[in-house]
Structure 1
Amino acid sequence: MQQTLKTIFDIQKDQYQSTGKLAVQERIQYLKKLKICIQQQEFSIFEALAKDLRKSQFEAAVTEVYFIYSEIDFAIKNLRRWSRPLRAKATLSSIFSKNRIIYEPKGNCLIISPWNYPFQLTLGPLISAVAAGNTVMIKPSEYSIHTSDIIAKIVAAAFPPSLVYCALGDQDVSTTLLTFPFNHIFFTGSTQVGQIVMRAASAHLSSVTLELGGKSPVLIADNANLKKTAEKVAWGKLLNAGQTCIAPDYVLVHENQEQQFIDYFQAAVQDLFYTPTGDINTDSYAKIINSRHLSRLHGLVHDAKSLGAQIAWKGNGDSQDTLAPIILRDIPTESRIMQEEIFGPILPIVTYSTLDEALRLIQDRPKPLALYIFSDNSKTIDHILENTTSGGVCVNDVILHVSNPNLPFGGVNQSGMGSSHGYFGFKAFSHERSIMYQSRIAFSKFIYPPYTKKERLLKWLKRLM
């Protein structure tokens, strides 16, 4: 296996070095072909996502497949503009020079993707990498095996292996790939594995983009519309059964509104994810990826309860692959569920007495991938924004900021490094190369030795500073 992967890596390296940079028109053609190959496999993609995560065709279309169509179309539409050299101003030291910034591909790139949105989070970075003109090796998750198989078929149909290659297998494949001297590594997954990827990248000084996660809070100001807020949080929290990196992880609500929010949240969950007879709607509610992850979620609840947390509400419908929604209250800060990213349909409720108390609770934690603010007062919103930091923010809604390719998507510190989507994904896989074309009239001679004759020039320069 290692020898095969190394052979592919070397072929891609030779391809990049021998044929030069892929022309913009060639990149566009490959992106068009990728879209056609996806369209040809669309039904199989829906089937695979249903097998791996029990995603309905509608959810799979909106959050995975059509999302990728949009990314491809956006890249094709804008790639020529993104690729143009940028003008840069000259300075006194090079007053007559011509200065440009060009975007060139980083070279050999590795994409390691997760299982929760296995199609979107593999193909999204691939679109950016191809748009930037790189060669790419992909390692999709072994947990979402059916989707990974379809991805491999699509990649093989759309690209020669000298340009893009999909490596299937378990974590040993990832470990092997991380020993190769890639020019750039794009990883989406947990913070803990992200640290492993970054350590491996440091051996070759590879640049990295890390799309991680963390505990994305929902801060509900006491002037927010609780009913609308609860419905939006319920949808965002339980989308893909909570297995979303920007899912609301915990809710901060005023102590006088806690029970009211819980009641509204419970009603919204019943409307959105349950049938009229009270059964969980498996056409709308995804399954947990595997028994190991389900066991981890049960362990989080057990740990919280053992430390004094209370179950405020729990829906019915648990099974060997399903965890019904759970609301927890009175959660000790030292519990695992308040330290780890939940990645499941469990919602802790944390109360506050003043807004500044809520802000301190956010400030004391690692920087989250997303922050959700609910308020009808612009001054309150501005105060929260000024006193928090996060990868991204969505005001009076959840999740949807990820759908705008004009916005950079990415975390900060523990929640990630670098940005993706649209132009920002193109930049992530590009090197901004500076070029100065010096004029025939060069003033650089004035700073050449001998320096003993430069005292008057030094005084003149000092006046300009």
Structure 2
Amino acid sequence: MPVTPSHTPEAMQAAFARLKAHAQQDAFPSVQVRRQNLARLQAAILQYEIPLLEALQQDYGHRSHEESRLIELFPTVSELKHAKCHLARWMQPSKRSVHISALPASAKVHYQPKGVIGVVSPWNYPVLLSLGPLIGALAAGNRVMLKVSEFCPATNKVVRDIVDQSLGGEWVELVEGEANIANEFTQLTFDHLLFTGSTQVGRMVMQNAAKNLVPVTLELGGKSPLLVAPSADLKMTAKRLVFGKVTNAGQTCVAPDYILCHQDQKKALLEHIKQTLKEYYPQGISSPDYTSLINERQLERLKGYLAEARSAGVVCENLMLEGPVEEGGKLALHILHQPGDDLRVMQDEIFGPLLPILTYSDMADALSYIQQRPRPLAMYLFTNQAEDRKRCENQIASGSLVINHTIIQVAQPDLPFGGVGASGIGAYHAEEGFLTFSHGKSVLHKRGPNLAGLFSPPYKSQIHRLMAKVWPYF
């Protein structure tokens, strides 16, 4: 049965009912069926590689095929391969111990599919963040309703072809539409709902899900800091910072959102960043590997941040000296020197090629600055000191911590991905993704005599004496 896009609440309800029926008919798909689903999805992605790359280029206005392969296709296929390899082990029941009061008996946790999973994907990584969540959901044996972003129509068409060919309507239903459809979608009675997007919209999604007590995984964002310790190699820091900030024009939920560096490092670090930009993008934003912003709305939002900061007296420095500042939906990387915390660029997730830089005189002050703000989706630390690494591991609560690199944690198929607090709830990817989309059902199998029966009513005096003697051992 082909996948058909659902554009109305009635069509979504019908699609949900179809998936629910399939889930009830086959409540526990075998490991062979799940692997086949993953293998078919992988084969379809590889088959549609060029159409996907061309569609991404069309939706963005400009995004190089090489960058799309690197940040969308490679991580998705890697995660598929990892899931297929480890699925049998993930599905094995987890043996648990049995309390003496229940002996003789055995206990385990059985990982059961939740049923029908709802997935809301964003526009910034329309392949990875649409097909990626399918991997954990399908590995766990679920059916999926996928709401894709209305800002990527060309990519959505290819994604629909991929899921149609590989999985059909028995496993996945694709939903398209604007914000009103997304709002209706998140009010369906899913068995689990995963949303990737902004913190502001995430709050509304959670409110909708709460009406039906639907459990949620929220992959949000926030302000991911990049802390440069005094011991850091500044040339290496600059290269990896530029990679994480400028890839996809900064439209990445885990992109570095601001720099904290020692006051004595700032001048040298900025020189290294300029040199790296010249090396990576020799024609500035006109370089073929520099990605456009998704639409005019996002460009105007970022220009609004710059205008507000300049009005407040903040120096906003274009670090890309070659080529224009703005062209064809592209915006050059700007450093904002010491912006105040009251500015929108320091309140909102930036999601673009703007990068505030703040200085500190003592590492303790820098760590305190991060701790006093909402918990970030990612933290980046550049250092050559083990003490710095340990302090950040122990003192900073963040979705992930990456030492001496940026954004590569997302593409690690054996690491969970998720935020904490304002940056998200729950995690997926790897085994944690399988567990997120599974219900860990406790199973206790009682055999033989019932020792607990010794303490059954009526409670006579000898029972009182016996209980008084043995209860400390329980």
TM over 0.5, shorter chain: yes
SS of 2:356's partner is strand
Q: What is the CA RMSD across the aligned residues, in angstroms? A: 1.4
1:114 aligns with 2:114: no
Residue 281 of structure 1 deviates from its aligned partner by 4.3
Q: Which runs of 4+ in 1 moved over 4 A?
A: none
Q: After TM superposition, list the pairs within 5 Å mapping 1:203-352 onto structure 2.
A: 203-275=211-283, 279-315=284-320, 316-317=323-324, 318-352=326-360
Match of 1:178 in 2: 186
Q: Is the 8 A contact 2:414 2:430 kept in 1?
A: yes
Q: Is the 8 A contact 1:266 1:313 kept in 2?
A: no
Residue 56 of structure 1 deviates from its aligned partner by 1.3
Distance in 2 (alpha carbons) for counterparts of 1:243 and 1:87: 43
1:444 aligns with 2:452: yes
1:20 to 23, 27, 44: 27
SS of 1:162's partner is helix
Write the letter of the residue equivalent to 2:93.
P
Residue 448 of structure 1 deviates from its aligned partner by 2.1
Match of 1:355 in 2: 363
Residue 320 of structure 1 deviates from its aligned partner by 4.1
Match of 2:108 in 1: 100
1:455 aligns with 2:469: no
Residue 146 of structure 1 deviates from its aligned partner by 1.1
1:73 to 72, 81, 104: 81
Q: Is the 8 A contact 2:218 2:424 kept in 1?
A: yes
Q: Is the 8 A contact 2:27 2:113 kept in 1?
A: no
SS of 1:343's partner is coil
Residue 40 of structure 1 deviates from its aligned partner by 1.7
User: Residues 95 and 273 from structure 1, CA distance in 2 versus in 1: closer, same or farther, beyond 3 angstroms?
Assistant: farther
1:427 to 417, 435, 441: 435
Match of 2:473 in 1: 464
Match of 2:405 in 1: 397
Residue 459 of structure 1 deviates from its aligned partner by 2.0
Residue 330 of structure 1 deviates from its aligned partner by 2.1
Distance in 2 (alpha carbons) for counterparts of 1:297 and 1:177: 29
User: Residues 262 and 441 from structure 1, CA distance in 2 versus in 1: closer, same or farther, beyond 3 angstroms?
Assistant: same
Q: Is the 8 A contact 1:194 1:210 kept in 2?
A: yes
Q: Is the 8 A contact 1:311 1:329 kept in 2?
A: yes
Residue 66 of structure 1 deviates from its aligned partner by 2.0
Match of 1:6 in 2: 13
2:389 to 378, 381, 385: 381
Mean Cα deviation higher: 266-275 or 392-401: 266-275
| Identical-residue share of aligned pairs (%) | 37
Distance in 2 (alpha carbons) for counterparts of 1:12 and 1:259: 58
Distance in 1 (alpha carbons) for counterparts of 2:116 and 2:11: 16
Write the letter of the residue equivalent to 1:464.
Y
Write the letter of the residue equivalent to 1:463.
P
Distance in 1 (alpha carbons) for counterparts of 2:430 and 2:392: 28
Residue 395 of structure 1 deviates from its aligned partner by 0.6
Q: Is the 8 A contact 1:308 1:330 kept in 2?
A: no
Distance in 2 (alpha carbons) for counterparts of 1:68 and 1:229: 27
The one-character-per-residue Cα deviations of 1:204-263 (angstroms, maximum 9, x if unpaired) are 111111111110000111111111111110111101000000001000001111111111
SS of 2:422's partner is helix
Residue 313 of structure 1 deviates from its aligned partner by 3.5
Distance in 1 (alpha carbons) for counterparts of 2:398 and 2:26: 41
1:190 aligns with 2:195: no
Residue 452 of structure 1 deviates from its aligned partner by 4.0
Mean Cα deviation higher: 288-297 or 90-99: 90-99
Distance in 2 (alpha carbons) for counterparts of 1:93 and 1:251: 57
Distance in 1 (alpha carbons) for counterparts of 2:282 and 2:101: 69
2:44 to 19, 37, 62: 37
Write the letter of the residue equivalent to 2:33.
E
Q: Is the 8 A contact 2:285 2:330 kept in 1?
A: no
Residue 18 of structure 1 deviates from its aligned partner by 2.6
Q: Is the 8 A contact 1:308 1:332 kept in 2?
A: no
Distance in 1 (alpha carbons) for counterparts of 2:361 and 2:349: 25
Write the letter of the residue equivalent to 1:285.
Y
Q: Could you tell me the TM-score, scaled by structure 2's length? A: 0.95
The one-character-per-residue Cα deviations of 1:348-387 (angstroms, maximum 9, x if unpaired) are 0000111111011101110000000111110122123222
Write the letter of the residue equivalent to 1:386.
N
1:413 to 421, 425, 434: 421
Q: Is the 8 A contact 2:82 2:414 kept in 1?
A: no
1:90 aligns with 2:73: no
Mean Cα deviation higher: 396-405 or 247-256: 396-405
Residue 33 of structure 1 deviates from its aligned partner by 1.1
The one-character-per-residue Cα deviations of 1:364-419 (angstroms, maximum 9, x if unpaired) are 11000000011111012212322211000001111112222221111001101111
Q: Could you tell me the TM-score, scaled by structure 1's length? A: 0.97
Distance in 1 (alpha carbons) for counterparts of 2:466 and 2:238: 68
Match of 2:151 in 1: 143
